[in-house]
Chains A and B, each alone.
Chain A
Amino acid sequence: MTSNTEEQKGYNHKLEQQLEKIFAGGQPKYHEKAAQQGKMFVRERLAMLFDDGKYTEDGRFANCEAGDLPADGVVTAMGKVGGQTVCVMANDSTIKAGSWGSRTVEKIIRIQETAEMHRVPMLYLVDSAGARITDQLDMFPNRRGAGRIFHNQVRLSGFIPQICVLFGPSAAGGAYIPAFCDIVIMVKGNASMYLGSPRMAEKVIGQKVTLEEMGGAEMHCSISGCGDVLAENEEEAISEAKRYLAFFPANFTEPAPIAEAVEAKVGRTLEEIIPENQNAPFNMYEAIDTLIDEESFFEVKKKFAPELITGLARINGKSVGIIANQPKAKGGVLFVDSADKGAKFINLCDAFSIPLLFLADVPGFMIGTKVEKEGIIRHGAKLIMAMSSATVPKISVVVRKAYGAGLYAMAGPAFEPDVCIALPTAQIAVMGPEAAVNAVYSNKIEAIEDPKERRAYVQQKQQEYKEEIDIYRLASEMIIDEIVKPSDLREVLAARFELYSTKTIPQPPRKHPVYPV
């Protein structure tokens, strides 16, 4: 008996020694450097992410024989977040800067396969310098090399939620992990994404830039649109990931979770918020606050293309995705970037059974040579296609104006919204009265020489035009389905979304549409 215990002590001791090494991560100097940058150790991040800090881990002993590569620089784990089972891969930047060797890649592929089999969300906590070039033959071009990670991400897209939290670099090929995720949360100052580093850019193309300019969190969250949420620090990034996850089901077959209903924020009514002058701006965020459960708004791409607001929220506890024009930014006009932003967000909500609410106050798509060269028609088509093909409940609310293709983009009557609601302030037309009268009567207007007479003529024609597009006329023709008192809108939306919860639209028999990308 004694010898048995001794033996056990012996092998347990070896195991404990190994585990100690693994849990310690890289060398102390790398831990110190990370701490100076405001970075947590990978296992601290995981402890903060998972409920009670608990998780199970696979491939823990990967590359343990190498001695200096504990877990081969990545932790792959399964556990509960907000009561929901999830799979996670998390780079350890204290080990060779979080770079990928063959076992690193194999571990990431395996945890993706686990997420697929168990049909649970996959989180990518990225902080990695990319491939270990010395190991490239073992991890780059092969069947189960890094390419397979992206292939898996694509296969999993829309099947389970995929979330990326970027704590540090995501370089070169590694930058495609965020690109294939549903959402990318970036930590200010530390997170970056780029195909070529500033050093490489200087060598190869002679461009001198800082890391932040090349691919920093603020740049990606405001200019490129590759980032969705800009977090002040790591704690905030992790808590935002949890808040986001709470809106989503485990996979596409399940309904979105329902939270406890909360009253809307107390504030001004929609009647007070919306100005009568169609051309004067107002703040759409304030209007959204009157409709949703207080503090439930999770905004996606806040700083990118602010003329279109996209975000998740709850109405009476139920998840909804909001797409709203912001008259305060660029007049709420749709641009190339706003079209892309809306399209991706609509795809996201539709994939995971989150109903859509469109709040329209849109003068149309931008015109002019600049946007035509940028392909505004092609980009606009993406938005309209995403909206049109979404089969979740869709409610379109015309808050004020909905002109031209703007009406189409915001789920106008032709695109089978479950209901198209107008507020009494709504105005629906090909274009606004000023532009329309100029377009139709320009020859006649120019022919009138007396300026007074000309002004009177223009005013008369504008008046006639306004009567033609009067919202009661459109309701009488059954173009819009309902006119709602603004202060009743929240209640109306809550009731209608509740009634639409069994909506099913059969998919047309085809492989997939030809996306206008």
Chain B
Amino acid sequence: MAQVLSTMTGTVFTIEVEVGQEVKKGDTVVILESMKMEIPVEAEMDGKVASIAVKEEDFIDEGDLILTFE
């Protein structure tokens, strides 16, 4: 299934999309905070957001699910 995974271990700083939103490849979907840096996580494909698996301030590992596309 089409999804976006975390590129890095860190804390979810902000979520930039909502469920149902159309997202283009390269759009930032969440910003993580790790190593005191803001790390944008981008969609690797176009799609419509089906679900978001994280909330702000969640701690996530590299490879953890962030969101799924329809």
B35 touches A281 (CB 8 A): no
- For chain A, residues 322 to 351, give those with C-beta under 8 angstroms from any C-beta of chain B: 327-333
**Scoring B residues 27 to 61 as 1 if CB is less than 8 Å from chain A, else 0, what string do you get?**
00000001111111000000000000000000001
The smallest C-beta distance from A468 to any residue of chain B, in angstroms, reads: 17
The smallest C-beta distance from B47 to any residue of chain A, in angstroms, reads: 20
Residues of A within 8 A of B40 (CB): 281, 328
B35 touches A363 (CB 8 A): yes
Q: How far is the CA of A470 from the CA of B35 in the complex (A)?
A: 21
- CB of B68 closer than 8 Å to a CB of A: no
Residues of B within 8 A of A363 (CB): 35-37
Residues of B within 8 A of A370 (CB): 9, 61-62
Closest to A306 in B: B7
- For chain A, residues 357 to 375, give those with C-beta under 8 angstroms from any C-beta of chain B: 363-364, 366-368, 370
- Tell which of B7, B35, B38, B62 touches A367, judged by Cβ atoms closer than 8 Å: B35
- CB of B8 closer than 8 Å to a CB of A: yes
Closest to A332 in B: B37
Closest to B62 in A: A370
The smallest C-beta distance from B31 to any residue of chain A, in angstroms, reads: 9
- CB of A280 closer than 8 Å to a CB of B: yes
- For chain A, residues 493 to 511, give those with C-beta under 8 angstroms from any C-beta of chain B: none
- CB of A236 closer than 8 Å to a CB of B: no
A331 touches B9 (CB 8 A): no
Closest to B40 in A: A281
The smallest C-beta distance from A237 to any residue of chain B, in angstroms, reads: 24
Take A368-B9, A370-B9, A370-B62 as given contacts and tell me if A333 and B34 are in contact as well, using a CB distance cutoff of 8 Å: yes
- CB of A435 closer than 8 Å to a CB of B: yes
Closest to A404 in B: B35
B36 touches A432 (CB 8 A): yes
Q: How far is the CA of A201 from the CA of B37 in the complex (A)?
A: 41
- CB of A434 closer than 8 Å to a CB of B: yes
A434 touches B39 (CB 8 A): no
- CB of A460 closer than 8 Å to a CB of B: no
B9 touches A279 (CB 8 A): no
B38 touches A366 (CB 8 A): no
The smallest C-beta distance from A437 to any residue of chain B, in angstroms, reads: 11
Interface size class of A (residues with CB under 8 A): 10 to 19
- Tell which of A279, A328, A366 touches B36, judged by Cβ atoms closer than 8 Å: A279
**Scoring A residues 450 to 492 as 1 if CB is less than 8 Å from chain B, else 0, what string do you get?**
0000000000000000000000000000000000000000000
A279 touches B38 (CB 8 A): yes
A435 touches B36 (CB 8 A): yes
Residues of B within 8 A of A434 (CB): 36
B35 touches A327 (CB 8 A): no
Residues of B within 8 A of A328 (CB): 40
B37 touches A331 (CB 8 A): yes
The residue among A280, A330, A363 with the most chain B CB atoms within 10 A of its own CB is A330
Residues of B within 8 A of A364 (CB): 35
- For chain A, residues 177 to 228, give those with C-beta under 8 angstroms from any C-beta of chain B: none
- For chain B, residues 2 to 18, give those with C-beta under 8 angstroms from any C-beta of chain A: 7-9
Residues of A within 8 A of B37 (CB): 279, 281, 327, 331-333, 363
- Tell which of A327, A330, A432 touches B8, judged by Cβ atoms closer than 8 Å: A330
The smallest C-beta distance from B35 to any residue of chain A, in angstroms, reads: 5
The residue among B35, B39, B62 with the most chain A CB atoms within 10 A of its own CB is B35
Residues of A within 8 A of B35 (CB): 331, 333, 363-364, 366-367
Closest to A361 in B: B37
Closest to A335 in B: B8
Residues of A within 8 A of B8 (CB): 330-331, 333
- For chain A, residues 265 to 316, give those with C-beta under 8 angstroms from any C-beta of chain B: 279-281
Q: How far is the CA of A280 from the CA of B36 in the complex (A)?
A: 10
Q: How far is the CA of A329 from the CA of B38 in the complex (A)?
A: 10
Closest to B33 in A: A279
Closest to A431 in B: B36
Q: How far is the CA of A332 from the CA of B36 in the complex (A)?
A: 11
Q: How far is the CA of A214 from the CA of B6 in the complex (A)?
A: 24
Q: How far is the CA of A434 from the CA of B37 in the complex (A)?
A: 11
Q: How far is the CA of A434 from the CA of B34 in the complex (A)?
A: 12
Q: How far is the CA of A273 from the CA of B57 in the complex (A)?
A: 29
- For chain A, residues 26 to 75, give those with C-beta under 8 angstroms from any C-beta of chain B: none
**Scoring A residues 359 to 394 as 1 if CB is less than 8 Å from chain B, else 0, what string do you get?**
000011011101000000000000000000000000
The smallest C-beta distance from B45 to any residue of chain A, in angstroms, reads: 15
Give B residues with C-beta under 8 Å from A: 7-9, 34-40, 61-62
* Other A-B pairs, 13, CB within 8 Å; known A368-B9, A370-B9: A281-B38, A330-B8, A330-B39, A331-B8, A331-B34, A331-B38, A331-B39, A332-B37, A333-B8, A333-B37, A364-B35, A367-B35, A435-B36
Q: Can you give 21 contacting A-B residue pairs, CB < 8 Å? A: A279-B38, A280-B38, A281-B37, A281-B38, A281-B39, A281-B40, A327-B37, A329-B7, A330-B39, A331-B8, A331-B34, A331-B39, A332-B37, A333-B34, A333-B35, A333-B37, A363-B37, A370-B61, A370-B62, A432-B36, A434-B36
> What are the nearest 9 A-B pairs in CB distance?
A331-B37, A363-B35, A331-B39, A432-B36, A330-B8, A333-B35, A279-B38, A363-B37, A434-B36
